[in-house]
């Protein structure tokens, strides 16, 4: 099963409007054989829609579990869809840590995206202490089962999973190709048990955690690594363009 690779940027809380405009002007990714996505602060989403003409998909970095109403500060999936935004990152470890998001809540965010027909990029991954204790598979399996196992097969193939070991995020410490492949193969096995092998074979699993222009080729060449979710390196046009090129290979 050939899965189209994805190079997805997660800008987190970076850039001022002029930086966004400069990025839009200069970013010219190859989207011939790969999907390119950028996850941006919600205030910049409308401005970034200009990149859709270059084949880039635009993601929010979070979404509300609610459809509408008295939820100050929240943005609904329906609003994103109506604006032309393609999807949302959900369950990023920074939201889990700083906003106490649980897999139950994140599962509802996935549902909100599915209801609005936008792509959910579901993030999971273990903490350093959990890997040091050898519990990484148990932790990630639990995250996936709690957040995603209620989905039908038809829904499951629409989501994207991002494995982001927390110890590799923003640290400059990347998982080795072997560690990434091992976990991605394990995640696919878990998804195969939840749905079936054919469904699991269709779901893209991205690696995130200190991906850069120098290590993307080798990471994306791993059989179960279907691209990357890129933080710091997605803020530099030249680096992110190179990472997009790695996804095209
Ligand atoms: P870095 O690429 O900066 O390590 O961040 C990874 C990440 O959290 C992407 O969502």
196-226 pLDDT, tens per residue?
999 999 999 999 999 999 999 999 999 999 9
State the pLDDT at residue 93: 98
Distance 209 CA to ligand 1 centre (A): 5
238: left (phi over 0), alpha (psi -120 to 50) or beta: alpha
Q: Phi, psi at residue 32, to the nearest 5°? A: -65, -45
pLDDT value of residue 215 = 97
* Residue from 229, 239, 246 to probe ligand 1 pocket by mutation (most atoms less than 8 Å from CB): 229
| pLDDT (0 to 100) of residue 164 | 98
User: pLDDT tens-digit profile of 146-168?
Assistant: 999 999 999 999 999 999 999 99
69 CA distance to ligand 1 centroid (A)? 32
Q: What is the CATH number of domain 5-248?
A: 3.20.20.70
Give pLDDT < 70 ranges for the chain.
1
pLDDT at 189: 98
pTM of the model: 0.98
pLDDT recorded at residue 1: 66
Residue 171 Cα: closest atom of ligand 1 = 4
| Percentage above 90 pLDDT, the chain | 98
Query: How far, in Å, CA of 132 to CA of 118, rounded?
Result: 36
């Amino acid at each position: 099963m050939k899965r189209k690779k994805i190079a997805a940027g997660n800008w987190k809380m970076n850039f001022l409007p002029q930086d966004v405009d400069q990025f839009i002007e200069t970013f010219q990714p190859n989207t011939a054989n790969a999907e390119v996505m950028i996850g941006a602060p919600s205030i910049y989403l409308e401005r970034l829609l200009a990149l859709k003409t270059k084949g880039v998909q635009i993601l929010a970095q979070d979404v509300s579990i609610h459809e509408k109403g008295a939820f100050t500060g929240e943005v609904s999936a329906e609003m994103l869809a109506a604006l032309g935004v393609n999807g949302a990152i959900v369950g990023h470890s920074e939201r889990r840590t700083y906003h106490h998001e649980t897999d139950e809540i994140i599962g509802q965010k996935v549902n909100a995206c599915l209801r609005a027909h936008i792509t959910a990029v579901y993030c999971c991954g273990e903490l350093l202490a959990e890997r040091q204790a050898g519990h990484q598979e148990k932790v990630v399996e639990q995250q996936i089962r709690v957040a995603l196992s209620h989905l039908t097969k038809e829904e499951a193939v629409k989501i994207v999973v991002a494995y982001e070991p927390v110890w590799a995020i923003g640290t400059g410490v990347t998982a080795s190709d072997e560690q990434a492949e091992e976990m991605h193969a394990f995640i696919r096995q878990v998804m195969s048990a939840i749905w079936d092998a054919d469904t699991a074979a269709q779901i893209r699993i991205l690696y995130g955690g200190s991906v850069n222009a120098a290590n993307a080729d080798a990471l994306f060449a791993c059989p179960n690594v279907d691209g990357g979710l890129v933080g710091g390196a997605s803020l530099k046009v030249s680096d992110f363009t190179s990472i997009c090129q790695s996804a095209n290979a």
